[in-house]
């Protein structure tokens, strides 16, 4: 038995939203503001019943509709659905114990294998009538107080204020089990929460964990004692608050022993004052002795008298001497254990049939190594509870951490993508289907993303480059562009842009870019070549200067621009690339094909273009041409060059210098940075090749 799918309607960006859950762990990732936290809020509000909804929780469209409906003279219920709903699809099979679930079933067909539960908060027509009347009364009171009827603009503002403050009181909550194939087949469960609880239980580990490393002696009573409080909470949950439990009996026995010892000490400490009290009491008619006794309460002992320390027995340190990362890691593991303990005793009959553990952003304060450790250990922890405690446990974990993502199974990933005013949840298994014609590409992409570049899942934009040379200088190029336009409202340096080297494999990222909606810049080389025929008539291509070439050997250019004339027996597409306008380099994918897009493109393919009377073939070629004097001025700093005397020969082209003088490309890129660092204030520094500037400016403004 498991939750197969959850659906949400009407909550913020989540409308017509569906998410398939994995049997064990569903890892929810995506860029900021894509609804990850919204999903958790709906799950908690519906399944845990810990909160209700407010006006701002409704979708923007519903908010506008409600405001407009309140502005009318007569109450007229809007045609749109004024509700927030979570639907949970539970799957079961013939091996499951259906004792609890049978109480929720409406489809009793032997072939049925699903139960659908809908948790809904709505404004019914009757409640809307009350809402409209109460708002009208509120407006009338305002008009009387001001002795004047407020303007239409003020009335609209007042509608917003009234709804924000009061809407919660007009919502009606209902829970039903329903048959999606038969709208009339419904079972009302609104007043039967215990039945639902036996089947479905949720526990939540919030991102707002109260860990801090302020000194306990400086920050108040509870400062620096997060782990101590959790240890107390763990004991209470472990014993279930049961005074007959073994743990509680042990604690109570020790408390009773300590009571006797304290009482003996109290008798000695308070002996003098008690004698005086007795003397005065006797004169006032009080008879009998007075005793001060210790009365330690086991149930409060841990709350007030427990502390967690770490280190060697001879040098124990308080918990707040640990870094926040370690505190957070320990705290979240303890919280998970506490939540799992609660799951085991969630109902009067024990464990619920399905347990959903929600963990929100566990990476807070932790460095990458701890994030790797966490996701590995939490998987082991969850498996251990399922195996040793027969706990039917599904986990939903949200994260912004590329490190946690990279350590997770690719199939567990649920990618949230925002499209206009709604959010879609996409499965990585769906992406695999897009590569069904070439599984090798999918396996390459899977390994590449999980091993080195999971950050792409969280980026807003991406720059795909061929190698280390461009990567080393790319951030410096972005900074130069920003410094050249200080009035730009959204400089490259302030945007969430991921720069990744993909070698000659940028076309492999085709479906991934479409899947995630990443706006991407591909920076590649024109790779001009000619076709040569050998002695035996066998043809091959050979790299040449652009002006001498006929073909391109660049696979990315052939793929994204759908070039068809660059086979060995064709005349070549190089001339078309050389004359291609900027607008023809911005693309969108339509019906599975990359096409030139005049509006809203999300891909730009940049390669060398004519600059200062010259056409370069490669990145190094283009860089040397426009920075030749800079290199000559700092030649002693360039350790990655050979044959440096050729730079003094004006007859040598940049193409020849790139071919004959660069010994190590990465060293050459580092030399550029080092040379500019040592430049004096009058030096103009190096310049960015125009085709890269063109691409970066497009990306900045995209």
- DSSP per position, 478-546: HHHHHHT-TT-SS-GGGS-EEEEE-TT-GGGGHHHHHHHT-EEEEE----EEEEEE-TTS-EEEEE--G
Give the Cβ contact number of residue 419 at 10 Å.
10
Backbone angles phi, psi at 526, to 5 degrees: -75, -25
C-alpha 83/C-alpha 77 separation (Å) is 13
Distances (CA, A) of 486 to 492, 496, 687, 691, 700: 11, 18, 17, 21, 13
219 with 296: CB under 8 angstroms? Answer: no
Q: How many CA atoms are closer than 13 Å to the CA of 232, on its beta-carbon side?
A: 14
pLDDT digits (tens, 9 = 90+) for 75-130: 999 988 899 999 999 999 999 999 999 999 999 998 999 999 999 999 999 999 99
Q: Residue 364 has what pLDDT?
A: 72
Which residues of the chain register pLDDT less than 50? 211-224, 283-284, 317, 319, 321
Among candidate residues 411, 421, 523, the one with its CA nearest the CA of residue 464: 523
Tokens 């399944």 found at: 47
The helix-helix angle for 60-71 and 125-146 (nearest 10°) equals 60
**Residue spans per domain, the chain:** 2-21+32-195, 214-321, 528-701
C-alpha 356/C-alpha 13 separation (Å) is 23
259 with 293: CB under 8 angstroms? Answer: yes
Query: Which are the contacts of 321, defined by CB distance < 8 A and separation ≥ 6?
Result: 213, 310
Put the strands of the sheet holding 422-427 in their side by side order. Answer: 200-205, 354-360, 393-398, 25-30, 413-419, 422-427
Q: Residue 536 has what pLDDT?
A: 81
Q: Residue 212 has what pLDDT?
A: 44
Torsion of CA 683, 688, 690, 692, to 10 degrees: -170
Tell me the pTM: 0.81
Q: What are the tokens at 63?
A: 């908010």
615 with 625: CB under 8 angstroms? Answer: no
Strands 393-398 and 309-310: unpaired
Backbone angles phi, psi at 159, to 5 degrees: -65, -45
C-alpha 166/C-alpha 56 separation (Å) is 11
355 with 394: CB under 8 angstroms? Answer: yes
Question: What is the distance in angstroms between the CA of the first residue and the CA of the last residue of the chain?
Answer: 46
556 with 546: CB under 8 angstroms? Answer: no
pLDDT digits (tens, 9 = 90+) for 127-141: 999 999 999 999 999
Q: Residue 448 has what pLDDT?
A: 87
How far out from the chain centre does Cα 50 lie? 23
Backbone angles phi, psi at 435, to 5 degrees: -105, 20
In 3-state terms, what secondary structure has residue 573?
Answer: coil
Q: Residue 10 has what pLDDT?
A: 94
Cβ-based burial of 236 (10 A; exposed 0-12, middle 13-18, buried ≥19): middle
C-alpha 409/C-alpha 356 separation (Å) is 19
Query: Which are the contacts of 463, defined by CB distance < 8 A and separation ≥ 6?
Result: 474, 497, 498, 499, 500, 520, 521, 523, 696, 699
Q: What are the tokens at 204?
A: 């939540």
Q: Residue 217 has what pLDDT?
A: 43
Provide the strand spans (E) within 550-619.
551-552, 586-590, 593-596, 603-606
Query: Which are the contacts of 504, defined by CB distance < 8 A and separation ≥ 6?
Result: 466, 554, 555, 556
């Amino acid at each position: 038995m498991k939750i197969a799918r959850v659906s949400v309607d009407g909550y913020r960006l989540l409308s017509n939203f569906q998410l398939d859950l994995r049997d064990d762990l569903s890892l929810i990732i995506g860029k900021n503001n894509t609804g990850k936290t919204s999903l958790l809020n709906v799950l908690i509000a519906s399944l845990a019943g810990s909160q209700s909804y407010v006006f701002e929780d409704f979708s923007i469209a519903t908010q506008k509709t409600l405001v407009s409906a309140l502005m009318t003279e007569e109450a007229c219920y809007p045609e749109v659905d004024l509700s927030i709903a979570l639907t949970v699809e539970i799957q079961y099979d013939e091996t499951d114990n259906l004792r609890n679930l049978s109480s929720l079933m409406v489809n009793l067909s032997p072939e049925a294998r699903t139960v659908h539960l809908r948790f809904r908060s709505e404004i019914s027509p009757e409640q809307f009538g009350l809402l409209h009347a109460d708002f009208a009364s509120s407006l009338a009171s305002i008009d009387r107080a001001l002795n004047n009827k407020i303007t239409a603009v003020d009335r609209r503002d007042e509608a917003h204020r009234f709804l924000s403050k009061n809407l919660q009181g007009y919502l009606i909550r209902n829970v039903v089990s329903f048959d999606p194939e038969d709208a009339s087949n419904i079972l009302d469960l609104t007043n039967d929460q215990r039945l639902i609880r036996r089947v479905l239980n949720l526990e939540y580990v919030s991102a707002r964990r109260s860990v801090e490393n302020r000194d306990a002696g400086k920050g108040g009573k509870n400062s620096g004692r997060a782990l101590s409080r959790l240890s107390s909470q763990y004991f209470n949950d472990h014993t279930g608050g049961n005074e007959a439990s073994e743990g509680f009996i042990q604690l109570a026995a020790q408390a009773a022993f300590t009571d006797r010892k304290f009482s003996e000490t109290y008798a000695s400490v308070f002996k003098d004052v008690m004698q005086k009290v007795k003397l005065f009491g006797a004169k006032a008619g009080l008879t009998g002795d007075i005793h001060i006794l210790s009365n330690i309460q086991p149930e409060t002992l841990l709350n007030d008298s427990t502390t967690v320390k770490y280190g060697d027995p001879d040098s124990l340190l308080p918990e707040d001497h640990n870094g926040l990362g370690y505190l957070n890691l320990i705290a979240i593991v303890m919280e998970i254990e506490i939540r799992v303990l609660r799951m085991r005793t969630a109902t009067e009959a024990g464990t619920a049939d399905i347990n959903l553990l929600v963990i929100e952003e566990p990476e807070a304060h932790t460095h990458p190594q701890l994030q790797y450790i966490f996701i590995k250990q939490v998987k082991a922890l969850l498996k251990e509870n399922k195996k040793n405690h027969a706990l039917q446990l599904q986990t939903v974990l949200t994260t912004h951490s590329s490190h946690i993502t990279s350590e997770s199974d690719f199939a567990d990933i649920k990618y949230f993508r925002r499209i206009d005013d709604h959010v879609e949840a996409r499965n990585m298994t769906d992406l695999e289907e897009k590569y069904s014609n070439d599984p090798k590409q999918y396996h390459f992409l899977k390994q590449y993303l999980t091993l080195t570049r999971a950050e792409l899942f969280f980026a807003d934009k991406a720059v795909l480059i061929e190698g280390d040379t461009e990567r080393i200088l790319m951030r410096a190029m972005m900074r130069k562009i920003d410094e050249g336009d200080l009035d730009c409202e959204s400089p490259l340096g302030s945007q969430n842009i991921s720069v990744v080297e993909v070698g000659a494999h940028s076309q492999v990222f085709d479906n991934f870019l479409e899947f995630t909606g990443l706006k991407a810049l591909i920076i590649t080389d024109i790779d001009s070549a000619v076709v040569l025929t050998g002695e035996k008539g066998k043809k091959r291509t050979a790299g040449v200067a652009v002006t001498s070439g006929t073909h391109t050997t660049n696979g990315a250019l052939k793929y994204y621009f759908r070039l068809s004339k660059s086979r060995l027996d064709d005349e070549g597409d190089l001339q078309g690339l050389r004359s291609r306008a900027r607008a023809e380099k911005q693309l969108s994918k339509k019906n599975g094909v990359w096409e030139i897009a005049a509006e809203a493109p999300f891909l730009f393919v940049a390669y060398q273009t004519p600059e200062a009377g010259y056409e370069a073939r490669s990145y190094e070629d283009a860089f040397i041409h426009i920075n030749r004097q800079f290199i000559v001025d700092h030649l002693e700093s360039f350790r990655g060059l050979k044959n440096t005397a050729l730079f003094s020969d004006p007859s040598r082209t940049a193409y020849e210098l790139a071919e004959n003088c660069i010994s190590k490309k990465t060293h050459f890129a580092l030399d550029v940075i080092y040379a500019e660092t040592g430049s004096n204030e009058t030096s103009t520094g190096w310049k960015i090749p125009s085709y890269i500037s063109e691409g970066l400016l497009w990306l900045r403004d995209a």
